[in-house]
Amino acid sequence: MSRHYTQDHEWIEVAGDGATVGITAYAAGQLGDVVFVDVPDAGREVAKGDEAAVVESVKAASDVYAPVSGSITEGNAALADEPALVNSDPEGEGWFFKLRLTHPSELEGLMDKAAYKDFVATL
């Protein structure tokens, strides 16, 4: 498995032609206490950069974008009952959706962990 990051603070962990997407710990920290998450339904097609999910916190509402193009295979239903998972485990159980990649070459434009850490340090 390989993990990549976007400048919009999403992470994507790829295994074969499938991937799991969420927001980074940095993004979760900036949002504050998450109170609602709207995840996409299975079967929805997304293009790289499309709005794929919405996360609302006590501070703000924010869109979660698709880091690559693909077909949604699952939304994290656990977030409906427990949106705070985004705060407690943003890069684990607080994932937003899974997808099947349609253009794996789009991963090439994303950052690895070291590059993302350097990017966040400039913010």
- Residue ranges per domain, the chain? 2-103
The residue with tokens 């498995």 is: 1
**Residue 112: per-residue pLDDT:** 97
State percent of the chain over pLDDT 90.
98
Alpha carbon distance 71, 103 (integer Å)? 11
Whether the pTM exceeds 0.85: the reply is yes
**Residue 1: per-residue pLDDT:** 81
Query: Model confidence over 73-92: pLDDT tens digits?
Result: 999 999 999 999 999 999 99
Number of Cβ within 10 Å of residue 81's Cβ equals 8
Domain 2-103 coded CATH 3.40.50.2300: no
Alpha carbon distance 109, 67 (integer Å)? 10
